[in-house]
Structure 1
Amino acid sequence: MPRLPQPTPEELRRDPLPLRGRTALVTGASRRAGIGYAVARRLAAYGAAVYLHHHVPHDADMPWGADRVEEVVAGVRAALGDPGAPVADGPADLSDPAAPAELITRAAEALGGRIDILVANHALSGSDGTLEAVDAAMLDAHWAVDTRSVLLLVQAYARLRAGLPSGTPGGRVVMMTSGQDLGDGMPGEIAYALQKGALASVTRSLSTALAEHAVTVNTVNPGPVDTDYLTGDAYEAVAARFPAGRWGMPDDPARLVAWLATDEAAWITGQVIGSEGGFRR
C-alpha cells in the first residue's frame, strides 16, 4: 500500500473555520453555564451549523434553574464564524426510548439532511446516592438518560451516515464521561458513575462499529467543571486541587471537543481523553 504524501505547506496552515460546511447536534445545551453551550459556541465559531437539544424541565427542577432557550440560542448564534450557517434548536426528553431517533431526524432536517458531528453531552443530575441509598429506580433513571439514550442516538446517527456517499468526511461522535474510574471514584453517585463508566467502556467498540462509515468515536472526561453547581468552602477546596488554582471552566473541555470534530483529529478514535487540568484526586 503506498504511503500517504507529506502535507503541503498550504495544508499545514490552519483554517480559521475548520468546520465550515459541517453540521453538528449537541445535546444537553440548554444552560449558558454548561459544557454543552460552550461546545456549541466553539463548533459554531469554527464554522459549523449547529442544532441545540434542550430539556428545560430537567434544569428547572435543579437548584441552578433553567435559562430561557431563546437566550441560549442567541448566544450560540452570536458566536457563528460562518454567518450563513444555521442555528436551530428543539426539546427532547431522552428518557423516552423513541426520543433519540426522533431527535436525530429533526436535527438532520433542520441542518439540510445531514449530521456530521454528534456531541452527546446530556446527563441526568440528582436522583442518585451512595451504595447504601441507591435503589432500582435511581439505577433505571440514570441508565435511561445517561447510557441508553446515548447508544440510541449513536445508532440513529450511524443509520443516517450510512445513507451518505461512501467516505463522506467529517463524521464524529463525542461522548462524555466523568473520571469515575480515577482516584476514589464517585462513591456518592453510584448510579451516575456506573452509567458514565459504561460509555467509557463502549467507546472502543463503537469506534470499530462506525469505522466503516468514516466516523471517529471518542469520549471526553472534562474533570470538575464550574457549571454553577458548587459554592463556598467546598468550591475553594476543589479549586485548590488544580495546579492552576482554579476550576475547569466549560470552555476548557469545549476546546478539546471542538478540536476532535476537526479534520486535524481524523486519526484519533476509540479513545477516552481527559481534560482535567492536572486535577489531583
Structure 2
Amino acid sequence: MPLLPHPAPEALRRDPLPLRGRTALVTGASRRGGIGYAVARRLAAYGASVYLHHHVPHDAAMPWGADRPADVVAGVREALGDPEASVHHGPGDLADPTAPADLIATAADALGGRLDILVANHAVSGDDGTLDTIDAAMLDTHWAVDTRSVILLVQAYARLRADLPPRTPGGRVVMMTSGQDIAGGMPGEIAYSLQKGALASATRSLATTLTDLAVTVNAVNPGPVDTDYMTGDDYAAIAAMFPAGRWGMPDDPARLIAWLATDEAEWITGQVIDSEGGCRR
C-alpha cells in the first residue's frame, strides 16, 4: 500500500506508550545521577522493557561514587508505563573485547529473545589530559571502552536483528558523542574527545550498514550535563554559558534519545544531534 502524503487524523494523536512491547539495552546506567539512568526511565515510561548495564567498579573509583544496582533498578521500575514491561540489569566490563557480544546476548535473553533499542551511553571518566600529558595507556583505555566496545555492541546487535523477519520495525541504535566538534573543542580531554569523535564519524557509515535491517543509527551530543561531577565557581561558569542560566539536566538528552527510539523518528538516521540548550561555548 503506498504511503499517503498526510497521515489520517487518528495517526496524529500521540500514543502515551509509544514503546509498548519494545525492548531496550542501556549501557552505563550505573547511578541515579547519570544520563543512562534518565534514559532508562524515559524508555520505561514510554512502555519499553529495559535491561540496565552497569560497571560499579568504575563509578566507585570516581569522586561521585557508585549507587547500588538495586537502587538504580528500583528507580527505573517506578517509571514503568506498561504493567507488562519489565526491568533487568547486569554487570559488564566493556574494556574486555568479548564483553559487548556477551552483553547483547544476555540482555536479549532477559528481554524475551529480542532487542529493539540499543543506547550506548557508557564511557571512561578521568585518566585523560592535554596533548602534552596524554600517553599511550590513556589513549588505549579510551579507545577500548569509548569506541571499540560501542562498535562491537552494534555488531552483535545487528547480527541479532538479522535473525528477525525482514524490515521488523523498531530497530534503533543511539550512540553518545561529546562537544569535540563545537567551538574550541575539548583540548583538556584529548583521549576522550578523540574517541567520541570517532563515533560521530562512524554514525553515517553504521546507519547505511543497518538500513536493510530497518534500524536507524544516530548519535547524540548531550552537551554539558549536571551529573554531579562539578561544583563551585566552575559550575557557575558553565551555567552562565546557557541562555537559560542553567546546566543541562540528565533528562534533557534523555527526552531526545527516547523520542529517537519511537516510530515518530523512523525517518531520522545517520545524524549527529546536539542537545546543547543554546550553549555559548
Q: TM-score, normalization: structure 1?
A: 0.99
Deviation per residue, 1:183-229 (Å, 9 max, x gap): 11111100000000000000000000000000000000000000000
| Distance apart, 1:4 and its partner CA | 3.5
Q: Distance in 1 between matches of 2:134 and 2:245?
A: 33
User: C-alpha distance in 2, partners of 1:191/1:118?
Assistant: 24
SS in 2 for 1:11: helix
Provide the residue aligned with 1:213 in structure 2. Answer: 213
Letter in 1 for 2:244: A
Shift of 1:6: 2.4
Task: Give the equivalent residue in structure 2 for 1:22.
Answer: 22
Tell me the distance in 2 between the aligned counterparts of 1:260 and 1:244.
24
Extract unaligned runs of 5+ from structure 1.
Answer: none
Q: Which amino acid aligns with 1:95?
A: A
Aligned to 1:102: 102
Percent identity of the aligned residues? 81
1:114 aligns with 2:114: yes
Aligned ranges for residues 63-74 of structure 1 at < 5 Å?
63-74=63-74
* Aligned position for 2:145: 145
Aligned partner letter, 2:6: Q
1:198 partnered with 2:198 = yes
CA RMSD of aligned residues (A): 0.9
Q: Classify the secondary structure of the residue corresponding to 2:131.
A: coil
List structure 1 segments (4+ residues) > 6 angstroms apart after TM superposition.
none
For residues 167 and 268 of structure 1, the distance between their equivalents in structure 2, rounded to whole angstroms, comes to: 16
Deviation at 1:173, TM superposition (A): 0.1
Aligned to 2:58: 58
Q: How far did 1:141 drift?
A: 0.2
Could you tell me which amino acid in structure 2 is paired with residue 89 of structure 1? H
- Alignment correspondent of 1:165: 165
Equivalent AA in structure 2 for residue 150 of structure 1: V
1-side partners of 2:5 and 2:143: how far apart?
A: 46
Which residue in the other structure is 1:262 paired with? 262
User: SS at 1:29's partner residue?
Assistant: coil
Deviations 1:73-106, CA, capped at 9 Å, x for gaps: 0000000000120100000000000000000000
Any stretches of 5+ residues in structure 2 without a counterpart?
none
One-letter amino acid of the counterpart of residue 225, structure 2: V
Return the letter of the residue paired with 1:134: I
Q: TM-score, normalized by length of structure 2? A: 0.99
What is aligned with 1:12?
A: 12
Match of 1:175 in 2: 175
Aligned length: 281
> What amino acid maps onto 2:175 in structure 1?
M
Per-residue CA shift, 1:113-146, capped at 9, x if unaligned?
Answer: 0000000000000111100000000000000000
SS at match of 1:36: helix
2:245 corresponding residue in structure 1 = 245
